[in-house]
Amino acid sequence: MLTEERFAKILSILESMGSVTVQQLMTELNASESTIRRDLNALDANGQLTKVHGGAILKTVAYSTKDDNVISRKEKNRDAKNKIAKYAAEQIASGDFVYLDAGTTTELMIEYITSRQAVFVTNAISHAKRLAERGFTVYLLGGEFKAVTEAIVGEEAVAALEKYNFTKGFWGTNGVSLQKGYSTPELKEAMVKKKSMENCTERFVLADESKFNQISSVTFAPFEGATVITTGLSLSAYKKCKNVIDVKQ
């Protein structure tokens, strides 16, 4: 097992258990004591866990139980979001049937989309308006309007998604965790994210580094369930994951 793979496994175990002993890690990873101790020292130095006598404990993980409003989120990490949005938009090809989730980074994608033959479905009124203004064919889900995130949510939106089969989809998230996957604070919004992902062939989650090692109230997909597009990622546990794309430009 490669070093980065061991790092990811150690952190995954810690997220699940909260603490772990050297002996437990030796068994789980089929590695020597010296290897485990060296890995724990490295992860402790990187600030990803706290090394204690005989093992390690989880570094404090941030939990969120409510959404910030859209206006306050739009200016957070804007440069990183623009890089992520541009790369994500480049993944859309002629003939794609695309789901575009509500969110500030997914909204930024719209300015970078060049393929005029793609068709879009979204649960964000602002996204639908901007796509239509740019000449795209776009369908807006019906359902309950959630003012904080400006998203259409709830059972009616989930029911509307049943008939669609998307070639590609792009989602925002409040949290990215190896153990807990992609999460958001509110159940009704999580339901829409989950159903739209289930009905999609290629799934992309757009997340700047501030979303990593964050956990919100409701998980809508496992970590392996989508490709994460990010930029400037420094967390070694995620950097070598095959489903993480770190946009450099």
User: Rounded to an integer, what is the distance from CA 131 to the centroid of its chain?
Assistant: 23
Residue 242 φ/ψ, nearest 5 degrees: -65, -20
CATH number attached to the domain at 64-247: 3.40.50.1360
pLDDT tens for 85-109 read 999 999 999 999 999 999 999 999 9
Taking phi over 0 as left and psi of -120 to 50 as alpha, with beta for the rest, 102 belongs to beta
How much of the chain, in percent, has pLDDT values that exceed 70?
92
**Does the pLDDT of residue 141 top 60, yes or no?**
yes
pLDDT tens for 186-233 read 999 999 999 999 999 999 999 999 899 888 999 999 999 999 999 999
**Does the pLDDT of residue 36 top 70, yes or no?**
yes
Helix (H) or strand (E) holding 167: strand 166-171
pLDDT tens for 48-87 read 888 888 888 877 566 666 666 555 555 567 899 999 999 9
| Cβ neighbour number for residue 205 with a 10 Å cutoff | 29
- Contacts of residue 114, Cβ cutoff 8 Å, sequence gap at least 6: 89
Which of 33-37, 69-73, 91-95, 155-159 comes out lowest in average pLDDT? 69-73
Which pLDDT value is given to residue 72?
52
What residue ranges of the chain are covered by domains with CATH 3.40.50.1360? 64-247
- Alpha carbon distance 29, 35 (integer Å): 10
Which one is the CATH code of 3-60: 1.20.58.220, 3.30.70.20, 1.20.1260.10, 1.10.10.10? Answer: 1.10.10.10
Choice between 74 and 182, residue whose per-residue pLDDT is larger: 182
Which pLDDT value is given to residue 142?
96
The strands making up 55-58's β-sheet, listed across from edge to edge, are 19-21, 55-58, 49-52
Choice between 179 and 66, residue whose per-residue pLDDT is larger: 179
pLDDT tens for 10-26 read 988 887 777 789 999 99
Helix (H) or strand (E) holding 130: helix 125-133
Which pLDDT value is given to residue 3?
87
- 224: DSSP letter: G
Which pLDDT value is given to residue 41?
93
**Average pLDDT value for residue range 148-173:** 96
Could you tell me whether strands 214-216 and 151-153 are parallel, antiparallel, or unpaired per DSSP bridges?
unpaired
Which pLDDT value is given to residue 249?
60
Q: Are 121 and 110 in contact (CB under 8 A)?
A: no
Which pLDDT value is given to residue 52?
83
Length of the chain: 249
Which pLDDT value is given to residue 63?
65
Q: Are 172 and 67 in contact (CB under 8 A)?
A: no
What residue ranges of the chain are covered by domains with CATH 1.10.10.10? 3-60
Which pLDDT value is given to residue 65?
62
Residue 182 φ/ψ, nearest 5 degrees: -100, 130
